[in-house]
């Protein structure tokens, strides 16, 4: 393995997008030698992650500037664009290779891969480091920052932002085979811990909000379909705690702006009736444990859509995000949260996605 890693690094300065003899040799080392060494060691790490696989890429068609080989769970990271995995990343200059605990750093959009926003990647890294703080702290030789020196690849900076922790190996200071095996085993064990921590997170940045996932699950069940392995993320008690807390914060926010408020969610197709002088505003309140962003989603009923379209511009949306849900107490307790207000709120039909249909047969 030492010779294979060194061989790839010594070919990196000769990188070309074309399939030159040097790139052919690099591809053989990446896809065969490094990948085969990893596959031979998967059985010894099955206790950490039971369905480990290996994938190697040095470019499809055009040769990539940053080749990689990853070890991943077949069920939890079906593609390198999603989930968490352990990966060898080779620097563009060929002076070092990293064994990194990494996340999917791209999205497939409009026929090509685009890097995820760096703030989102860094927020997910912070979450993962906190989840693994006790485990990672026992290896002071881990580095948090990696540098791949990509000259043309847009993916290099995304890889750098998406790395949770890594071992760094210099081309002229490659460790022994036993050290390489021990480091791999350590990070795969950490990967197993991370998979367990991420199995049912309510606050993992960049993930679909649990209430949106639940709505899709319920819609599929109503249509007689079941998503494989997919259960509800929030219990009735969870949803009630989030709803009450978010409505309470929304009312506090509105009253701070001079409105008088009334909670009408139990009887109306909106949540808060707000009045200030001659203003009468119909307020929709949504609470979530996730971080609110430009691509965030909420779930609306047909009645909510119809009411807010009819009453516009006397309509308002308040989203309370980043709510903390404590499930260690009964009933669950919600706290914290960031309030974002849109007023007047115009529902854009183009932004609505139907998830079920009622169809009259005959």
Sequential DSSP letters for 306-360 = HHHHHHTTSEEEEEEES-EEETTSSS-EEE--EEEEESS----GGG---------
Residue span of the structural domain in which 188 resides: 2-197
Choosing from 197, 224, 251, the residue where a domain stops is 197
pLDDT in tens, 96-134: 999 999 999 876 655 566 777 888 899 899 999 999 999
Pick the last residue of a domain from 197, 223, 239: 197
**Residues 221 and 97 both lie in one domain:** no
| Structural domain contains residue 357 | no
How many domains, in total, are found in the chain? 2
Enumerate residue ranges in the chain where pLDDT < 70. Answer: 107-113, 200-201, 206-207, 226-230, 294
> What pLDDT is attached to residue 188?
98
- The answer to whether residues 185 and 231 belong to one domain is no
Provide CB contacts within 8 A for 189, sequence distance 6+. Answer: 45, 48, 135
Q: Are residues 236 and 311 in the same domain?
A: yes
**141 and 239 belong to one structural domain:** no
The answer to the question of residue 202 being in a domain is no
The predicted pLDDT at position 20 comes to 95
Q: With contact defined as beta carbons under 8 Å apart, do 171 and 13 qualify?
A: no
Say if 100 falls within a structural domain: yes
Same domain as 241, residue 323: yes
Question: Considering the domain boundaries, does residue 203 fall inside one?
Answer: no
- pTM here is 0.72
Looking at the fold, whether 191 and 270 belong to one and the same domain comes out as no
Q: Are residues 264 and 341 in the same domain?
A: yes
Same domain, 87 and 133: yes
Is residue 59 included in any domain, yes or no? yes
CA angle 88, 92, 98 (to 5 degrees): 25
Rounded to whole angstroms, what are the CA distances from 203 to 6, 144, 169, 209, 322? 40, 22, 34, 9, 7
- What pLDDT score was predicted for residue 112? 62
What is the structure's pLDDT at 109?
56
CA distances from 189 to 42, 147, 245 (A): 12, 24, 38
Predicted pLDDT at 155: 80
Within-domain flag for 204: no
| Final residue belonging to a domain, choices 197, 226, 248 | 197
């Amino acid at each position: 393995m030492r010779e294979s890693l060194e061989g790839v690094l010594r070919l990196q300065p000769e990188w070309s997008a074309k399939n030159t003899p040097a790139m052919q040799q690099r591809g053989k080392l990446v896809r065969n030698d490094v990948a085969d060494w990893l596959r031979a060691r998967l059985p010894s790490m099955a206790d950490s992650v039971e369905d480990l696989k290996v994938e190697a890429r040095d470019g499809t068609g055009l040769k990539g500037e940053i080749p990689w080989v990853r070890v991943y769970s077949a069920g939890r990271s079906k593609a390198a664009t999603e989930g968490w995995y352990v990966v060898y990343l080779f620097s563009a200059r060929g002076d070092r290779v990293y064994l990194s605990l990494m996340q999917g750093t791209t999205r497939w959009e409009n026929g090509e891969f685009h890097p995820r926003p760096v703030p989102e990647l860094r927020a997910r890294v912070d979450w993962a480091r906190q989840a693994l703080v006790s485990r990672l702290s026992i290896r002071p030789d881990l580095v948090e920052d990696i540098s791949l020196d990509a000259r043309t690849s847009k993916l290099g900076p995304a890889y750098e932002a998406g790395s949770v922790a890594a071992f760094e190996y210099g081309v002229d200071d490659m460790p022994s085979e036993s050290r390489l095996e021990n480091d791999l085993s350590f990070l795969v064990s950490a990967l197993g811990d991370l998979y367990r921590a991420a199995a049912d997170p309510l606050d993992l940045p960049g993930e679909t909000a649990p209430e949106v996932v639940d709505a899709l699950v319920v819609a599929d069940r109503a249509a007689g379909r079941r998503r494989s392995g997919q259960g509800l993320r929030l219990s009735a008690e969870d949803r009630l705690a989030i709803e009450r807390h978010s409505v309470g914060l929304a009312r506090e926010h509105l009253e701070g702006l001079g409105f008088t408020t009334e909670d009408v969610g139990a009887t109306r197709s909106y949540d808060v009736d707000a009045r200030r002088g001659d203003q009468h505003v119909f307020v929709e309140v949504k609470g979530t444990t996730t971080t609110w962003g430009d691509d965030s989603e909420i779930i609306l009923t047909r009645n909510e859509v119809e009411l807010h379209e009819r009453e516009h511009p006397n309509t308002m949306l308040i989203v309370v995000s980043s709510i903390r849900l404590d499930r260690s107490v009964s009933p669950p307790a919600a706290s914290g949260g960031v309030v974002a207000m849109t007023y007047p709120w115009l529902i854009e039909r183009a932004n609505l996605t139907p998830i079920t249909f009622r169809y009259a047969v005959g």
